[in-house]
Structure 1
């Protein structure tokens, strides 16, 4: 089966972020650096994960004659002193930690400055299992969780052949849209049936707990809910109305993949077209300007 020619999912898949990786200055001397270590620049897919880039980043700094002894699991990243969760997609981390509102007049903070650490892993804040295999396991567990929320079971994922399940990860790892979506399309389209719940997570500022609730895509009368309806339902104090406010810049906004989506879009459409590869709709709520 070939991947659907969906310009929305394709544009999301092709989205990238330029990132500037700098070695922590307090660690550079301890690792044998004799001069200033130049940063490493990459353009990473928003849908990717940091562990998929760690070997490449490690090689760059080791080639700079740094005496690092250890494996990729020892390496971690932070932004402004906050460790970055390796099991979150890179685009989600950027939206969450930069707090950049696309409707502001200021330019986006690019390239995104990320600090690389080779020691003092913050085990109290991060899961120490950053190998690619661990990332794959976590990614597939999210796929199964999304399937359970959508259908009430994980049968659709579990009924995929072993090759199809492997193809999901290989497509993401190799940045191959057709390879990934030719399988994933069968999961998110839901055979044309209305899902039981929408797989979604909402992220708030100031390290608030992530909100994940069973969200029905329809109201008690069977009418489809919009994104605004859901935000109003879950966060009525931040979204007192399901409709956009007249002075939007003064109020919180949802950000998905670096954009502010219209509140009037059906939540099912958003779930099927704006989800990350783990099939969750990850929404970052940013406060007013």
Structure 2
């Protein structure tokens, strides 16, 4: 499980800039620098960022979660994992020059003019937890044809699992999450996959069989060729585009089951970004 642990520890250097309209102080706002875990969610960054900017904020805004982030003029969806957002919004090819990697990743922190047309409303951590729980149920249903495994978790188990996500505690999360994955991979019905297209809001989500032709593992290439043949005319070779997972270009021959057990996000999905080959 060494790869699983490396993915868990992955982080992105972030520069948070306070939008000029939010600054009511006399001084200019210096950016806030930090590392954000790829498997985390942006609302978890809001308390520490607003605490840093507190002297420059009006009223009780520093204690509110009703903030939102913007990247190059685009509202950033808080309900998606940070690593996915970075890969999706930057559209970077991992094989490209590192000078083009937008690091540190600059996010603008805003409060007013909430873009309700583009973002779900966020009023408390409960909103984030509810969304995350719903996704874990969806993923469990796709894996087994029933969400019984997630639904049968005790309240303490569910609490510990989310606490692991929130606090970046690998053991707390995986001590519970590992029980949601069948020990016998042949018991998997489908692999929960969401594929994000470049320069588009389109997302491909399908019930992808874990195995084909008498338990032969479904590969990333066979899945992409079936659902996006115009971008992946070959099942084995990236000709027009690459598939990126956790900031890494994944070989098309990789079995989806292996990717799931080692590289799923905490909501149980494989979130795969498509980037064009220059």
Shift, 1:201, TM fit: 0.2
Residues 6-25 of structure 1: matches in 2 within 5 Å? 6-25=1-20
Number of the residue aligned with 1:275:
264
Q: Aligned residue for 2:231?
A: 238
Gaps of 5+ in 2: none
Measure the CA separation in 2 of the matches of 1:17 and 1:206. Answer: 21
TM-superposed deviation, 1:136: 1.1
Kindly indicate whether the alpha-carbon contact (under 8 Å) linking 2:79 and 2:131 is maintained by their aligned counterparts in 1: yes
How many Å separate the matches in 2 of 1:173 and 1:122?
Answer: 25
Q: Distance in 2 between matches of 1:21 and 1:230?
A: 37
- Please point out which of 187, 196, 214 is paired with 1:194: 187
2:70 is aligned, of 65, 78, 81, to: 78
Bigger mean CA offset, 87-96 vs 33-42: 33-42
1-side partners of 2:224 and 2:8: how far apart?
Answer: 25
Whether contact under 8 Å (1:51, 1:130) holds in the other structure is: no
Can you give the 5+ residue segments of structure 1 that lack an aligned partner in the other structure? 1-5
1:148-163 → structure 2 map (5 Å cutoff): 148-163=141-156
Task: Give the TM-score normalised by structure 1.
Answer: 0.91
Q: Is the 8 A contact 2:13 2:35 kept in 1?
A: yes
User: In the TM superposition, what whole-angstrom CA distance separates every residue of 1:246-276 from its partner, at most 9, and x where no partner exists?
Assistant: xx5xx20000000011111111111111111
RMSD: 1.5
In structure 1, the partner of 2:132 is: 139
For residues 95 and 168 of structure 2, the distance between their equivalents in structure 1, rounded to whole angstroms, comes to: 29
- Are residues 68 and 97 of structure 1, via their aligned partners in 2, closer, same or farther at CA, if it must alter by over 3 Å? farther
**Segments ≥4 residues shifted beyond 6 Å:** none
For 1:85-124, what aligned pairs fall within 5 Å after superposition? 85-107=77-99, 108-124=101-117
Kindly report which structure 2 residues correspond to 1:185-264, keeping only aligned pairs within 5 A, or say none. 185-245=178-238, 251-264=240-253
Contact 1:48/1:90, CA 8 A, preserved across alignment: yes
More moved, 279-288 vs 180-189: 180-189
